[in-house]
């Protein structure tokens, strides 16, 4: 059994568990990128070879980093509602066919949605959360990032169903990769007790700032090899076990109160009632548990009042492969103390 970690959450320091066998998740013609958002220019260019592409339907629950690239490409985002379902899970309110030139869809936090009746037209599927859960055969383009799953310096990927994306020559950003790997090493040293401070956070921040100013770049070959070798069976088993422990305490608050047979949880998202989310998050932080909010609401989110519930009340409980049962019980105890 794993021993309890010095801290829970924040940046990774190691890859997920790897196997000597390829997992078969990524087609041979997958393009590996410096970041997931760098897939958008490649997808847009390919769509515009065949048809006009001036509008895209986006889920109301999304990160601003999914909105900005479309605006930079002159594509107007139109939002459709993603809402809590009464029985647990999510309800998608897709726009009528023809509302937008393309629609972007995603499964959230590693929980597989049921088969969704998508509108006709170009479908772009974000696999960032769902790549280790299942990959539906319903999209024209697939893209995502592996950085939420482990210490991938790059980890962006994209492929096209039934064809190859034109990309030219994509070269990795060696300076960015060097910064990321230095930060991983410093975080590992901190976790092992070799460093007393968190200077690695400054290195991570410097790397992310440098990423904003570069065009589409290639992924690190080391990351590609690791992505194809991720041991999905081992990783899914650890994450599911951790999520089940959390759900014993947080089930009434959980967006997804039950695990489906295909689920590989990225986090266990909860909705904290009565405006207490920020206070609860602060209590966790005081106790060395760093929980993300997915995502901050920005001026780019033109969404309905009902769709704001996730931004105002949502908090993501950590359940990944770095941690064991003792760590999950630590989270549960802090949650019980607060609620």
Q: Is the pTM of this model over 0.85?
A: yes
Q: What is the pLDDT of residue 3?
A: 44
Q: What is the pLDDT of residue 214?
A: 63
What does the pLDDT look like over 226-266, one tens digit per residue? 999 999 999 999 999 999 999 999 999 999 999 999 999 99
CB 38 within 8 A of CB 32: no
Residue 1 pLDDT: 38
pLDDT at 228: 98
Ranges of the chain whose pLDDT falls below 70: 1-5, 213-214
């Amino acid at each position: 059994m794993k021993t309890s970690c010095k801290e829970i959450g924040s940046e990774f320091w190691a890859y997920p568990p790897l196997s000597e066998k390829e997992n078969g998740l990524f087609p041979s013609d997958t393009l590996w990128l410096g970041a997931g958002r760098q897939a958008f220019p490649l997808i847009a260019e390919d769509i515009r070879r065949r048809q006009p592409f001036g509008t895209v339907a986006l889920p109301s629950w999304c990160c601003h980093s999914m909105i900005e690239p479309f605006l930079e490409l002159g594509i107007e985002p139109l939002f459709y509602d993603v809402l809590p379902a009464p029985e647990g899970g999510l309800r998608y309110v897709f726009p009528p066919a023809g509302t937008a030139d393309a629609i972007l869809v995603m499964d959230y936090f590693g929980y597989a949605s049921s088969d969704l009746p998508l509108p006709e037209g170009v479908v772009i599927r974000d696999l960032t959360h769902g790549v280790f859960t299942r990959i539906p055969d319903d999209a024209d383009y697939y893209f995502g990032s592996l950085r939420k799953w482990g210490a991938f310096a790059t980890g962006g990927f994209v492929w096209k169903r039934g064809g190859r994306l034109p990309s030219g020559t994509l070269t990795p950003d060696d300076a960015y990769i060097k910064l990321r790997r230095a930060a991983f090493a410093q975080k590992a040293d901190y976790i092992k007790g070799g460093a007393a401070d968190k200077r690695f956070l400054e290195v991570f921040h410097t790397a992310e700032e440098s990423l904003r100013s570069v065009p589409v770049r290639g992924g690190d070959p080391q990351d590609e090899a690791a992505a194809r070798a991720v041991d999905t069976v081992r990783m899914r088993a650890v994450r599911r076990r951790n999520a089940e422990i959390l759900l014993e305490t947080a089930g009434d608050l959980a967006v997804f109160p039950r695990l489906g047979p295909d689920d590989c949880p990225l986090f266990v998202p909860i909705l904290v009632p009565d405006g207490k989310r920020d206070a609860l998050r602060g209590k966790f932080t005081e106790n060395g548990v760093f929980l993300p909010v997915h995502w901050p609401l920005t001026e780019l989110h033109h969404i309905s009042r009902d769709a704001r519930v996730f931004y105002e009340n949502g908090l993501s409980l950590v359940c990944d492969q770095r941690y064991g049962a003792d760590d999950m019980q630590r989270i549960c105890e802090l949650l019980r103390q607060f609620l």
